[in-house]
Amino acid sequence: MASPSIPNLSAHGAKMPAIGFGTSSLGKCAEIVATALKLGYRHIDTAWKYGTERSVGDGIRASGVPRNEIFLCTKVSHEYLRGEDFARSVDESLKNLGLDYVDLLLVHWPNPDIQLAEPMAALAKAKRQGLTRHIGVANFTIALLDEAIRLCPEPLVNLQAEYHPYLDQGKLTEACRRRGLIFTAYCPLGRGRLLRDPVLADIAVRKGRSVAQVALRWLVQQGNIVPIPRSSNPG
């Protein structure tokens, strides 16, 4: 799945490139996604809620990178976790993307008004139908993660949540490690705040690297963490 320079992490049969490109709040991002893929990214993260699925699909096609070399994640929003709504959301996402499957499908946020068994059954069904190769959850607590694992007829491979040096997620990442899951870290640069951090700036100078490289390396070297930075600037 990864380009030659990017290793894979493995979990329950899934092989996920160890760094990805996020598309949250990027709007029309086809050119940016195509540029990211041409530069060597092979893991693209989107969601129905982001409104970027159509652009992501266009960017994949414009890049010229074969579909089977790309690991693509999308998500079902918390409003659509009932069985029929879930299925319609997946169909809409695939239509937006212009693709017949994704590599990873996540429940984007838990919904306390809907019993967790319902979306877990729908998630497993989507996998069995070949609409996604792997499944997981996002923004779940450890307790909710354990409940999801217990209720889901298919193995979960991933939990996605915000993680960077300003937000301690040690307990959650360790919980994922013990359960054999990959942890995807969104906002790995702290929404840009880390780029102005004096401690990281000092480390970056001493290492001859950029602040962003230091922050991303800190995540990657933990072993089961996949950061998904993003940029609106192709440069």
Closest CA to 181 of 13, 39, 37: 13
Gap between the Cα atoms of 193 and 190, Å rounded: 5
Query: What is the mean pLDDT of each successive set of 10 residues along the chain, which is 235 residues long?
Result: 74 96 92 96 97 97 96 97 96 98 98 97 98 98 98 98 96 97 97 93 97 96 95 83
Active site residue 166: no
Query: How much is the pLDDT for 4?
Result: 55
Point out the catalytic residue in the list 41, 50, 80, 163: 50
Q: What is the pLDDT of residues 143-190, one digit of tens each?
A: 999 999 999 999 999 999 999 999 999 999 999 999 999 999 999 999
Q: What is the pLDDT of residues 125-146, one digit of tens each?
A: 999 999 999 999 999 999 999 9
Amino acid found at 231: S
Determine contact, residues 176/138, Cβ cutoff 8 Å. Answer: no
Q: Strands 102-107 and 71-76: what pairing?
A: parallel
Gap between the Cα atoms of 95 and 167, Å rounded: 35
Query: How much is the pLDDT for 1?
Result: 46
Amino acid found at 212: A
